[in-house]
Chain A
Amino acid sequence: MKHVGRALPRLDDSVHLEGRGRFVADIDIPRQLHMRVVRSNVACAKLINVDMSEAYHVPGVVAILTAEEVSHLRPLGVRLAPAPALDRFLQPVLASTMVRYVGEPVAAVFAESAAAAEDAAELVGLELAPLEAQTVPRAVEANPADPLRGNAAASVTKSFGDLNAAFHEADRIVEVHVTWARDAAMPMETRGIVADWDDARGVLSVWGPGRAAHWNRDALAAMLDLPRSAVVWRTPHVGGGFGAKGELASEDILACYGARLLERPVKWVEDRREHMIAAGQARDIRATARAAIDSSARLLALDVDVVIDQGAYVRAEGTMVADLVAAMLPGPYRMDALRAEAHLRLTNKTPAGTFRGAGRAEAAYIRERLMDEIAHRTGIDPMEVRRRNLIEPGAMPFERGTEALGCRVTLDSGRYQSLVDQTTRRFSLDVIRRRAQHRRAQGELVGVGAAFVVDASAPAGYEHVKLTVDRRGTVEVITGAVEEGQGLVTLLAQIVADIVGVDYASVRVTTGETVRIPFAAGSQLARSSVMVGTAAQHAAETLREKILSAAAAMLSIPAEKLTIQAGRIKQADRHFGTILDLGDLAAAMEPGRTMRTGPRGAGLEAEGFVTTSMMTAPYGLVVAVTEIDKDTGFIRVPEVYVGYDVGNAINPGLVEAQIVGGVVQGMASALSTTLGVTESGDPLRVNFADFALPTAREAPTVHVMLVEDSPSPANVLGVKGAADGGLTGMAPAVAAAIDDAIGIPGFVHHLPLTPSDIIQQLRARKPITFEAAAE
């Protein structure tokens, strides 16, 4: 049975459906202490004193740490896109003299029970002298309340071509101003960690939802002054990440440090309110974008300025988002010149991290709003404007002329025009547009909008996969990447099963355990299936060769005459008859006195490594239909159509699931979920009553067409990452569909757009100004 290319069920579905998952919160260790973080409740203030006297009276309290006790711990470093200039903006483990956002850790309480820790944390007295909070990213001048740091943390510029010449030659210049409010990934499982210091052996064992288990291991080792081999990171089940989870944060450091200091295991599980004020947030951008176009609406150049509200500190993600926004702005279109600048500005808000589609969603929103504006200004159909500018298949692989995360942006392969045609045909998009027109003529507010997106997945890097076979014939795949619900376990099993010749359900996949594999880059930026999949493919090929040659030696039959089916070694030209079970062969290859075949001392195992220099660029067309209730202003997105090319889809069911999930998340980001603060910097939304995640009732029906037209030349499997598909195009598609519904091109330049904005607009029938919308 062939597994690759089929929509096979996920191997871990039943575990989760039956509630048998074992997440961080499910892990308990005898003698463990519970940690509770005391957080600032003021956005900007001088920290004068931390009074712990009352808190220590709570029965069960063992220790309370403040900045004084952890002053020797360096601030958390930057993992992605580091730069030395960022050092002074890094977040300290605990605030010492200033607090800079509501939610900033000031102290950590360790107690015998979670309840005691929470009781005591409440009694820790923070003496704060509030200063004026800065909640809008201003230009370069420093925050008067916090003058030592300045506001401009970093700027990233990407450019190519002669911008001035292009704008000089232009037939027309089209400009948009767009903003997108703060939002955050909201995984069902919040952050958490369990740390256990074994003083006798000198080993720190950590259980945490790390997307980069190995980096976390190394960072912890460095921070706690331990050799790498003294830190063991294990990744239990992960209830979704979406970018909000998995980077080391202050809380993780405190738990690990506390475990070592107190010689007791420490458990920390974030609650939802904490997640909404302390975990990394995202988006919060404001951009000005100008396009120089010729007389036939072809792009000559883009000139874009993006300000990203980074919040109070720079965290492990560094300038990653700024880097990706700028690098991915040109997207799928040809142009002669680019200048894209992204500025990270500091404010007194929760620090920004990443959220699914990081950088690419922002870039798509800015660029596609600009494409719609070009269509409006030139009177050409929006899809036609895009089609004219799409890079042709003959130009692939196409050097974009920018770099993202230190890797050249190369559009590896793609038949963009063909995707537009196929999607249009498959979903009868013309009929859908006509139907909307017809309904508008009847007085309804219905619109259709589209966005073309290119994602960046799996930029340069490496991966390593190990395979072992035991005496039962069970194949184990070991990877440092993690299963976060995206289906990694299943697709690795599918790849390995086909090559080795076993059923995928019998393949065990071990993820995110640093003791089982020495190095790994982890899961982010839609890289797991591409990188780990490729490494698994290499490892499986090596394993297959080893199996066949060892069997050949044992049986004295030439290897070419043997094959493996359903875990049994057979003669290739015979239909029936097993000659050797895989388990028996593995047993025969185990080191020791019974060893009968194979290389000495190794057992039946294989490894696969991959390093790539070319990223993959999945792409798609996202078309959203919106309906607006004239009386209430509510915006519904009843249908979304997505045509998407991920190269070869290892498991089309998983890819589709990623796209559907991305669409819903993207819609939420465009219409409802936002994490604003008041003027004084107090968070407006700290629970799920206020933070309006869509329910099944609000979720659109998502129609997905997967196209496998352009396998990636960047890896042997021909795959491209699928994790962000669906999400990246939703904001601009929904924005365009709203414009269409109410008949005002360019109306939507701020997201999320609220029903109240719509009502005001319908009343006034005049576009609201940029300044008004940005407040």
Chain B
Amino acid sequence: MRAAAFDYHAPQTIDEALKILARHGVESRILAGGQSLVPAMTARHARPAHIIDINRIGQAERPTISGGRLRIPPLMRHIDFAGGAVDGPLGLLMADLSHHVSTLPVRLRGTFCGAIAQAEPASEWCLASVVLGAEMVARSAGRGGRAIEAADFFETIQTTALADDEMLVEVQIPLLPAYARHGFYEVTPRAGSFALAMALVVYDEDEDEMSDVRLGIGAVEAVPRRIPEAEALLNHRPPSKRLFREVSEAVADLVQPMDDEFADPVWRRALTRTAVARALERSLRRPLDSAERP
């Protein structure tokens, strides 16, 4: 359980990190919170020859808000969202989800951007970024920066659109309007484990109806995705038990559940239905309640 030998780099700036990354490409890995990378290295599943520890990079911990977007820098940790990183519904949503990311020790170290780069199917942040229409800002020493839409970013399990010489320098999430609501539910076999199915729904409360509905599922397929059919069913309709049941059945029918040792497709489909139904129910709670701990 000791990592294979590697060279260790501790750049002070993003540019410096990018240079090292450009020099070593596939041979190198960025080290952020280390909560996915270090276990993979000690099990010798990952054996990068160069480790680029970005934890000494300055000004990479606090989020900023500009242009109607929350901008998440590379060293913002899971725990930093717990107290509401931004005012309003988006802050509540992120706080809610942060309580579901693993256990406290992992939350204290693991980063938001690291989770996005890691692209686990069951990552709460990956689902949130897809549902909320986030943009991932990637940068390389040679080609400069580019923005990638969340929907195009996740390719398959643990695989993203990032090139070998690119670093994720920021994730931008559009703020939510003041009357937005969200509902999130995940099914986990035990506290701190990766979820077996999860659903996130966000919509605007428009008189009695739901509008601008976005609904996505995670941990069910290789990458999180929105379910347009479900969104169409919900849009411009008042919430009701019947509608929620109809939507959760529809989503369960639409997905192609993964088959792994944690859940067979039949069970996972059942869990998907439950996650969607419960996420929808939770969206009706007072916003403060939805930020309560699991």
Q: Output the least CB separation between A571 and chain B (Å).
A: 59
Of the A-B pairs whose beta carbons lie under 8 Å apart in the complex, a sample of 27, sorted by A's number, is A114-B2, A115-B2, A118-B1, A118-B2, A119-B5, A271-B1, A273-B43, A631-B270, A631-B277, A632-B187, A633-B267, A672-B189, A672-B190, A689-B193, A689-B194, A692-B189, A692-B193, A696-B191, A755-B189, A755-B267, A756-B263, A756-B264, A759-B266, A759-B267, A759-B270, A760-B266, A760-B267
Give chain B residues whose Cβ lies under 8 Å from the Cβ of A119. 4-5
Evaluate contact between A695 and B190: CB separation under 8 angstroms.
Answer: yes
- Knowing that A692-B193, A759-B266 are A-B contacts, what are 6 other residue pairs whose CB atoms are under 8 Å apart, sorted by A's residue number? A122-B44, A690-B262, A692-B189, A695-B190, A756-B266, A759-B270
A760 to B266, CA, bound (A): 9
CB of B34, distance to nearest CB on chain A (Å): 16
Bound-state Cα–Cα, A553 to B76, Å: 77
- The answer to whether the Cβ of A23 comes within 8 Å of any Cβ in the partner chain is no
Q: Does B273 contact A (CB under 8 A)?
A: yes
CB of A427 within 8 Å of the partner chain = no
A10 at the interface (CB under 8 A from B): no
A684 within 8 A of partner (CB) = yes
CB pair B190 A694 closer than 8 Å = yes
| A contact residues around B98 at 8 Å (CB) | none
Q: Is the CB of B190 within 8 A of A632?
A: no
On whether the beta carbons of A632 and B274 are closer than 8 Å, the reply is yes
Q: Which chain A residues numbered 716 to 775 have a C-beta less than 8 Å away from chain B?
A: 755-756, 759-760
Q: Mark A83-123, 1 if CB is under 8 A from B, else 0.
A: 00000000000000000000000000000001100110010
Q: How far is the CA of A632 from the CA of B266 in the complex (A)?
A: 11
Please list the 6 inter-chain residue pairs (A to B) with the smallest Cβ-Cβ separation, ordered nearest first. Answer: A697-B191, A271-B1, A631-B274, A756-B267, A695-B191, A115-B2
Is B271 on the interface with A (CB-CB < 8 A)? yes
A698 interfacial contact with B, CB 8 Å? yes
Is residue A546 contacting chain B, with contact meaning CB distance below 8 A? no
**What are the residues of chain A within 8 A of B267 when measuring CB–CB?**
633, 755-756, 759-760
Give B1-42 interface residues, CB cut-off 8 Å to A: 1-2, 4-5
Contacts of A756 in B (CB 8 A): 263-264, 266-267
Query: How far, in whole Å, are A692 and B1 apart by their CA atoms in the complex?
Result: 20
A422 to B223 Cα, complex, angstroms: 55
A115 lies within 8 A of B5 (CB): yes
* B261: chain A residues within 8 A (beta carbon): 684, 690
Residues of chain A within 8 A of B1, CB atoms compared: 118, 271-273
Distance (whole angstroms) from the CB of A315 to the closest CB of chain B:
24
Q: Which residues of A are found within 8 Å of B274, using beta-carbon distances?
A: 631-632
Residues of B within 8 A of A122 (CB): 4, 44
A634: chain B residues within 8 A (beta carbon): 187, 189
CB-CB < 8 A to B266: which residues of A? 756, 759-760
Q: How far is the CA of A695 from the CA of B2 in the complex (A)?
A: 26
Chain B residues contacting A697 (CB-CB under 8 Å) are: 190-191
Contacts of A672 in B (CB 8 A): 189-190
- Beta-carbon nearest neighbor of A114 in chain B: B2
B192 at the interface (CB under 8 A from A): yes
Q: Compute how far the CA of A572 lies from the CA of B43 in the bound complex, rounded to whole angstroms.
A: 66
A692 adjacent to B190 (CB under 8 Å): yes
- Expressed in whole angstroms, the minimum distance between the Cβ of B35 and any Cβ of chain A is 12
Least CB distance, A745 to chain B, in whole angstroms: 24
| Distance, CA A273 to CA B1, complexed state (A) | 8
Helix, strand, loop or mixed for chain A's interface?
loop
A-chain residues with CB within 8 Å of residue B192 when the two chains form the complex: 695
Chain A residues positioned under 8 Å from B264 (CB to CB): 756
B190 contacts which chain A residues (CB < 8 A)?
Answer: 672, 692, 694-695, 697-698
| Size class of the B contact interface (CB-based, 8 Å) | 20 to 34
Residues of A within 8 A of B263 (CB): 756
Question: How long is the Cα–Cα vector from A698 to B261 in the complex, in angstroms?
Answer: 21
- Complex-state Cα separation, A759 to B191, whole angstroms: 21
Give the docked Cα–Cα distance between A759 and B273 (Å). Answer: 13
1/0 contact trace for B178-208 toward A, CB 8 Å?
0000000001011111100000000000000
Q: How far is the CA of A694 from the CA of B267 in the complex (A)?
A: 21
CB nearest neighbor in A for B191: A697
Interface centre among A118, A272, A684, A687 (most CB of B within 10 A): A118
Q: Using CB atoms, name the residue of chain A closest to B187.
A: A632
A536 to B267, CA, bound (A): 56
Cα–Cα, bound, A114→B274 (Å): 47
Cα distance A195–B40 in the bound complex, in angstroms: 31
Report the Cα distance A327→B206, complex, angstroms.
71
- How close is A426's CB to chain B, nearest CB, in angstroms? 31
Q: Chain A residues near B273 (CB, 8 Å)?
A: 631
Min Cβ gap B36→A in Å is 11
Cβ–Cβ < 8 Å partners of A760 in chain B? 266-267
Residue of A whose beta carbon sits closest to that of B4:
A119
The residue in chain B whose Cβ has the minimal distance to the Cβ of A122 is B44
State whether B5 touches A632 (Cβ < 8 A): no
Q: How far is the CA of A115 from the CA of B264 in the complex (A)?
A: 38
Residue interface bits A669-690, CB-to-B below 8 A is 1, else 0: 0001000000000001001011
B223 to chain A, nearest CB (A): 20
Taken together as a complex, chains A and B put the C-alpha atoms of A197 and B271 apart, in Å, by 58
Q: Which residue of A lies closest to B267 (CB)?
A: A756
Chain B residues with CB under 8 A of A689? 193-194
Q: How far is the CB of B122 from chain A (nearest CB, A)?
A: 11
Would you give the shortest CB distance from A492 to chain B, in whole angstroms? 36
Q: CB distance A698 to B191 under 8 Å?
A: yes
Chain B residues whose CB sits within 8 angstroms of the CB of A696 once the complex forms: 191
A291 CB to closest chain B CB (Å) equals: 35
Q: Return the contact of B271 from the options A118, A272, A632, A698 (Cβ within 8 A).
A: A632
Among B189, B193, B264, which residue has the most Cβ atoms of chain A within 10 A? Answer: B189
Query: B163 → chain A, closest Cβ, in Å?
Result: 29
Give the distance in Å from the alpha carbon of A74 to the alpha carbon of B123 in the complex: 51
> In residues 112-153 of chain A, which contact B (Cβ within 8 Å)?
114-115, 118-119, 122
B192: min CB distance to chain A, Å: 6
User: What CA separation (Å) do A698 and B189 show in the bound complex?
Assistant: 9
Residues of B within 8 A of A692 (CB): 189-190, 193
Q: Which residues of B contact A684 (CB under 8 A)?
A: 261
Which of A614-634 touch B at CB < 8 Å? 631-634
Are A632 and B44 interface neighbours, CB within 8 A? no
Which B residues are CB-close (under 8 A) to A632?
187, 270-271, 274
How close is A407's CB to chain B, nearest CB, in angstroms?
40
CA distance A760 to B5 in the complex (A): 48
Q: Which residues of B contact A115 (CB under 8 A)?
A: 2, 5
Residue numbers in B under 8 Å from A273 (CB-CB): 1, 43
Within 8 A of B (CB), among A689-710: 689-690, 692, 694-698
A631, B43: Cα distance in complex, Å? 36
Bound together, the chains give a CA A631 to CA B261 distance in angstroms of 20
> How distant is A54 from chain B, measured CB to nearest CB, in Å?
14
Complex: A760 Cα to B265 Cα, angstroms = 12
- Given A115-B2, A272-B1, do A633 and B270 touch, yes or no (CB 8 Å)? yes
User: Shortest beta-carbon distance, B204 to chain A, in Å?
Assistant: 28
**Complex interface: chain B residues within 8 A of A272 (CB):** 1
Which residue of chain B has its CB nearest to the CB of A36?
A: B2
A271 → chain B closest CB, angstroms? 4
The closest CB in chain A to the CB of B277 belongs to: A631
Chain B residues whose CB sits within 8 angstroms of the CB of A694 once the complex forms: 190
A479 to chain B minimum Cβ distance, whole angstroms, is 34
Query: Measured between alpha carbons, how far is A631 from B269 in the docked complex, in Å?
Result: 11
> How far, in angstroms, from A564 to B222 measured CA to CA in the complex?
73
Q: Which of B65-83 contact A (CB under 8 A)?
A: none
Q: Give chain A interface residues in 243-276, CB to chain B under 8 Å.
A: 271-273
Of all chain B residues, the one with the shortest Cβ separation from A631 is B274
Report how far A670 CA is from B149 CA in the complex, Å.
45
Q: Which residues on B sit within 8 Å (CB–CB) of A698?
A: 190-191
Q: A151 to B1: give the CA distance in the assembly, Å.
A: 34
Bound complex: CA of A633 vs CA of B190, how far in Å?
13
Closest CB in chain A relative to B277 CB, distance in Å: 7
For window 250-294 of B, CB contacts with A under 8 Å fall at 261-264, 266-267, 270-271, 273-274, 277
> B residues 45-92 with Cβ under 8 Å of A?
none
Chain B nearest Cβ from A258, distance in angstroms: 19
